[in-house]
Chain A
Amino acid sequence: MFGQVNIEFILSASVFLLTLTFISFTIVNIFPHFHNEAVNDILKAKAFQASELLIMDEGDWSADLEDVKRIGLSTGDPHILNKSKILALNNCNEIEYNEIKKLLGLTYEYDFILNITEINFTGSSSETWKCKPSAVSLITKKFWIKRLVVIDDGADRKIAKLQIAVY
């Protein structure tokens, strides 16, 4: 009396199916790498785009931050930032933060931190201006981009670091 399926068939089918399963799992496991890389690239692009917008564009400003149409901090000359615009962003509140986020072209799923620090060439203390959300996640991966700019307050010019993180 023979069985319905012989043992050799079961063995060969098992080998084949095991192989197929191995390949499927291996390929499926690769996708997170690609996704992670794509997310990183998007963060880099968004941070770069935001930094370019801030340092290259003069923006379209009004006295009230809520009425600003374009966020550019430049005086009109690329890489030279207007100090009064920086002061307007400094220590932004939640409403202002969300407004700036929108103006930087960042959608709701992204957040940003903006730090502008004078570079001290002489040894005296440096001024820093910040705009960040009220709560900053410490575990979320952030991508920082550092740019070098000149701050113009009308009478004097100073070199500063503009750092922006998007996450």
Chain B
Amino acid sequence: MFMCYSKKGFVKILEAIIASIILIGSMSYFFIPYIKSSDWSRSNLELQGRDALVALDNYGYLRTFILENNITEDQKGLEYYLKKMLPKSVMFSVEVYGLPKPVIKLGCNCTSAEMEKLQKMIYDKRIEFKGREINFSIDGETGLENLLANRDIDVILLFGYKDLSPYKSEIEEFLGRDKSILVVADLNETEVNDGIFNETFNLSWQVGGIPDENNDFSDLSDPKNISWHISNYFVYMPVRIETTEDIGNGERKGNFFIQGIQHDLITGYNETGSFDYVRYDTDTKQYKLNEVFIVDGWSIKIRKIDSNYTDDYSTYADIGIINRSYVFNISNIPNKNNIAKNEKTILKTTNGFSSIQSNYQITKYGKGRTVWLKNYTETYSDVNQLFKSILLWAAGENYDLGQIFGHKKMRPKSYTKVYYVVSGNQEFEPYIIKLVLWHIY
């Protein structure tokens, strides 16, 4: 009897212990205070980043820093000001979207003769484009494999057809880094359909017909079109015309081309009015800086004049055609370049063939740009104006200032991003500044 009561009591204690365990177990969720973080630290950092950009813009410095490429701490540029404004424990990096790069690095897979041709096509490696200084640098590396592996190069240039099949994977990798390839070549049907050129450069052969020698921008009806975008660069792009020949009276003469026809361009200095001037052909009128003269119905704007020979033994005028509807004269070789026009065509012949074909968002992640350009005479200043405009687009219209700051490599996995749209500037389309911020600790 006692044993029976004793066991019953033991079971009761056991029950109580089990009930306690269940109770503690089931209520354990409430033991640790679960407080969802308000993420204030990140929000505060984002707020300070946005404030810094807004304040700099209201101060009138932000656009100047970007457009004048006044970036580093040593230049007392963007980095210097952001460092003063943001807490010392914060590091940052800046990316710009929607603006041509300030330095465009070209790699040419070409012979010395082709390199000479490229130099003539670019001519002045330092241009003033819509008030911005843009520099072209050409890498002398000749091996295509080396160029494709070079991470600094923005655009690789090829002259003439080249069998690219041995480099297929390297090209994919290169374009995957959001880089570009530009080829200047006259192509026949076999070359177009080699499996690489047609895919990479978005080319397809059109049977029948002969491409006309007159060419214009493919479709200017919609600003979303690539041809409209390039035409917008074209009308602001200067080409340098050196006036090398002394023709007396302090005037010097050079040449420019309109639709394949050579014209004289004369620079001089008007002592009475104290201004540099430009004349063309037999026209005696002296055109000043920013004035427009008309040749064969096409408007040409004078963007810069240097008529002083004695300072650096060089005189020149930077001029540019400002008509979007300009008709280029590029002659065609028989049985070549029967390229069908499509929505990515930049320049078309007046009878509907493509003369300059672009391709973009090539890789599976939407990166990479390519351009095929019909071969042309490198002295044609009008086509060179277009060629430079294409280079601006091909080099990509975003760039990372973090590489200049040297901070990018330090960026941790967790960081905060702030986007600031700079708009309202008449010269440039709206562009975006991305500020990436992170705490050092």
Is A121's CB under 8 angstroms from B84's CB?
yes
Find the A residue at minimum CB distance from B44: A145
In the complex, which residues of chain A have a beta carbon less than 8 angstroms from the beta carbon of B20?
Answer: 15-16, 18-19
Q: Does A41 contact B (CB under 8 A)?
A: yes
CB distance from B26 to the nearest CB of A (A): 9
Q: Does A92 contact B (CB under 8 A)?
A: no
CB distance from B88 to the nearest CB of A (A): 13
Find the B residue at minimum CB distance from A143: B40
Interface residues on chain A, size class = 35 or more
Q: Does A124 contact B (CB under 8 A)?
A: no
Can you name 10 extra interface pairs (CB under 8 A) apart from A19-B23, A149-B55, A159-B55? A8-B13, A11-B16, A16-B16, A16-B19, A18-B20, A23-B23, A23-B24, A79-B58, A149-B51, A159-B85
Q: Does A80 contact B (CB under 8 A)?
A: yes
Is A148's CB under 8 angstroms from B9's CB?
no
Find the A residue at minimum CB distance from B30: A27
Q: Does A150 contact B (CB under 8 A)?
A: yes
Is A19's CB under 8 angstroms from B13's CB?
no
Among A18, A147, A157, point to the contact of B59 (Cβ < 8 A). A157
In angstroms, Cα B13 to Cα A6, docked, is 12
Is B55's CB under 8 angstroms from A150's CB?
yes
Interface of B is mostly: helix
Query: Could you give 22 example pairs across A and B, Cβ below 8 Å?
Result: A6-B5, A8-B8, A8-B9, A8-B10, A11-B12, A11-B13, A12-B16, A15-B16, A15-B20, A16-B16, A20-B23, A27-B31, A33-B33, A33-B35, A34-B33, A79-B54, A120-B84, A146-B48, A146-B87, A148-B85, A149-B51, A159-B56
Is B35's CB under 8 angstroms from A159's CB?
no
Q: Does A77 contact B (CB under 8 A)?
A: yes
8 nearest A-B pairs in the assembled complex, by CB-CB distance: A8-B9, A12-B16, A19-B20, A148-B51, A33-B33, A150-B58, A148-B55, A15-B16
In angstroms, Cα B25 to Cα A23, docked, is 10
Q: A16-B19, A34-B35 are in contact. Are A7 and B9 (CB under 8 A)?
A: yes
In angstroms, Cα B59 to Cα A158, docked, is 7
In the complex, which residues of chain A have a beta carbon less than 8 angstroms from the beta carbon of B59?
Answer: 150, 157-159
Interface residues on chain B, size class = 35 or more
Q: A8-B8, A8-B13 are in contact. Are A19 and B24 (CB under 8 A)?
A: yes
In the complex, which residues of chain A have a beta carbon less than 8 angstroms from the beta carbon of B16?
Answer: 11-13, 15-16
CB distance from B224 to the nearest CB of A (A): 31
In residues 36-76 of chain B, which contact A (Cβ within 8 Å)? 38, 40, 44, 47-48, 51-52, 54-56, 58-60
Find the B residue at minimum CB distance from A121: B84
Q: Does B419 contact A (CB under 8 A)?
A: no
Is A22's CB under 8 angstroms from B13's CB?
no
Find the B residue at minimum CB distance from A24: B27
In angstroms, Cα B24 to Cα A80, docked, is 58
In angstroms, Cα B15 to Cα A79, docked, is 68
